[in-house]
Amino acid sequence: MPHQSKLFPDHRRLSGERYTVEVFRMAYDLPEQEARRLFDKFGPSKRELDLLMRARRNPEQFLNF
């Protein structure tokens, strides 16, 4: 049975560019363990990971709509 905290469904179709864990880690200057955790939880989609990191850095921009 898959881990409950995994938000990225295995069956979900990916479109667009994808990160590797290492490129994602370097792009956001993340520790290896944190990059792996986020990558495993949210998947390799560059678009989704970039959006996640934007929200982590400035959550208020997503609250004022």
**If you average pLDDT over every residue of the chain, what do you get?**
82
With 0.75 as the threshold, say if the pTM is over it: no
CA distance 8 to 29: 22
State percent of the chain over pLDDT 70: 74
pLDDT at 1: 45
Residues 6+ apart with CB under 8 A from 46: 16, 17, 18, 19
CA distance 24 to 30: 8
Contact 60, 35 (CB under 8 A): no
Looking up tokens 């949210």 gives 42
Compute the average pLDDT of residues 32-50: 94
What is the Cα Rg of the chain in Å?
Answer: 12
Higher pLDDT, 52 or 1: 52
> Residue 11 pLDDT more than 50?
no
